[in-house]
Amino acid sequence: MKITLSVIKADVGSIGGHIAPSRRLVETVAQHVGRNGPPLVIDTQISHTGDDIAILMTHRQGAGDPGIHKLAWDAFLAGTAVAKEQGLYGAGQDLLRDAFSGNVKGMGPAVAELEFEERPNEPFLFFAADKTDPGAFNLPLYLAFADPMNTPGLILSPNISKGFRFVIMDVNHTEGDRVIELVAPEQSYDIATLLRDSERYVVESIWSRATGDQAVAVATSRLHNIAGKYTGKDDPVMLVRVQMNFPATGEILAPYSIGHFVAGGMRGSHQMPLMPVPLNTGISYFDGPPIVSCAALAEHQGKLTEPLDCFAHPFWNTVRDRVAGKAIEMRRQGFFGAAMLPMSELEYTGIVEELGSLDKRFVVRPERSGRA
Ligand code: F6R
Ligand code: MG
Ligand code: MG
């Protein structure tokens, strides 16, 4: 019987600005899921990355199950009540609807779900990023699943070398899910052509061409498109099955040593490098830098092991130092040029209105007919 991994995350309030949830808030969410989860939910783990709380659940209900989604929604509502009581900032921020309507997708929280026939051993990774958006995973996923310079398994392992199918979403299309399917390696240039524009084209899922199994699920919806107003960047979560017919854990983790520039940071409006951090890390410099955490787990018949903290390893200290250097260097040019996102991606509209009023004050200088 199939197992489903569901991770549902939301920002429902934090201490001292958009930094991290309070201990009581995290405990309230965990208690709600602990009390009301079974028997539907087999196992669960609660964590936070920056100001976002993630509920990881195992069950047999399949993806998009109303019972599972309602459980998470209600847990975040219970958390919101505590956030209000404690005077936390942005209490209930990501709960954009008044009433639950069957599925949290489109209601604010981010969702990533993987359904599969369990292998004899089932290692997987759970990524959570804050102060950035789902396009942050484009580059690491491209390198891990389509580039043998990063993933030697693509040339060394017969099943992995059959390649992967990428499902990519156009997140600017708000009327419905607009997706395209492309296969690597044959169409890897097409995949690259789309993924370079990480604000518009976002990897939603990746599938093994050898077995048809799903390897990756990314939370792809865009909060600010759904809400029609600024509600924060769509801090994404992602699940990745690893080993055997999928890339190895180390091949999935390796690209995070780049500290690539992503959209996010202060007011969701800048280009900042992505810093790999330990689990349950908060936010600091310039409402950032954008951070990503990764828990490695094993699962058997829905029972989870304890999470191992992938980016807590000493190797990542030097990466973090380099990312901090890149962040400071970029910040030196303030709002000029590449440091700030293009107009279409800014999440605060004040500047757009100001530009409109300045535009009216421009004059076209009359051309002179000849030299005096
Ligand atoms: C970015 C983010 C923060 C806020 C900033 C201002 O995604 O959440 O950088 O944009 O702290 O927050 P408000 O407008 O809530 O005062
Ligand atoms: Mg927030
Ligand atoms: Mg957040």
Distance 232 CA to ligand 1 centre (A): 7
Q: Three-state SS for 17?
A: coil
Check if the beta carbon of residue 116 is closer than 8 Å to that of residue 240: no
Q: Which atom of ligand 1 is nearest to the CA of 51?
A: 8
Report the pLDDT value the prediction gives residue 87, as an integer from 0 to 100.
Answer: 97
- The answer to whether the CB of 232 is under 6 A from ligand 1 is yes
Report the pLDDT value the prediction gives residue 175, as an integer from 0 to 100.
Answer: 80
Distance 198 CA to ligand 1 centre (A): 21
Check if the beta carbon of residue 360 is closer than 8 Å to that of residue 354: no
**In this structure, which ligand is nearest to the CA of 49?**
3
For 179-186, the CB contacts below 8 A with 24+ separation are 179/204, 183/209, 184/145, 184/146, 185/146, 185/154
Q: Three-state SS for 85?
A: helix
Distance 348 CA to ligand 2 centre (A): 14
What rounded mean pLDDT belongs to the chain?
94
The string over 214-242, giving b where at least 16 C-beta atoms fall within 10 Å of a residue's C-beta and e elsewhere, is bbbbbbbbbbbebeeeebbbbbbbbbbbb
Q: Which atom of ligand 1 is nearest to the CA of 233?
A: 7
Q: What share of the chain is helix, strand, coil (3-state, %, to 5)?
A: 30, 25, 40
The CA distance from 114 to 122, in Å, is 12
Q: Nearest-CA neighbor of 191 among 143, 199, 216, 183?
A: 183
The CA distance from 109 to 100, in Å, is 12
The CA distance from 51 to 335, in Å, is 24
- The answer to whether the CB of 266 is under 6 A from ligand 1 is yes
- The answer to whether the CB of 287 is under 6 A from ligand 1 is yes
264, β-bridge pairs = 270
Q: How many CA atoms lie within 13 A of 264 on its CB side?
A: 31
Distance 267 CA to ligand 1 centre (A): 5
Per-residue pLDDT of the chain (372 residues; tens, 9 = 90+): 899 999 999 999 999 999 999 999 999 999 999 999 999 999 999 999 999 999 999 999 999 999 999 999 999 999 999 999 999 999 999 998 877 878 888 788 999 999 999 999 999 999 999 999 999 999 999 999 999 999 999 999 998 999 999 999 998 887 888 999 999 999 999 999 999 999 999 999 999 999 999 999 999 876 555 555 555 568 999 999 999 999 999 999 999 999 999 999 999 999 999 999 999 999 999 999 999 999 999 999 999 999 999 999 999 999 999 999 999 999 999 999 999 998 878 877 788 888 889 999 999 999 987 665
Report the pLDDT value the prediction gives residue 233, as an integer from 0 to 100.
Answer: 61
Report the pLDDT value the prediction gives residue 224, as an integer from 0 to 100.
Answer: 53
- The answer to whether the CB of 233 is under 6 A from ligand 1 is yes
Report the pLDDT value the prediction gives residue 372, as an integer from 0 to 100.
Answer: 56
Report the pLDDT value the prediction gives residue 227, as an integer from 0 to 100.
Answer: 53
Burial class (CB in 10 A: 0-12, 13-18, 19+), 19: middle
* Helices and strands (DSSP H and E) totals, the chain: 9, 16
Provide the H-helix boundaries in the chain. Answer: 23-36, 66-85, 138-146, 153-156, 188-195, 223-227, 249-253, 315-331, 350-360
Count of CB atoms within 10 A of residue 208's CB? 20
Report the pLDDT value the prediction gives residue 355, as an integer from 0 to 100.
Answer: 87
Q: Of all protein residues, whose CA lies closest to atom 3 belonging to ligand 1?
A: 267
Q: Nearest-CA neighbor of 216 among 199, 204, 230?
A: 204
Structure tokens at 68: 């599972």
Give me the amino acid identity at 213: D
- The answer to whether the CB of 18 is under 6 A from ligand 1 is yes
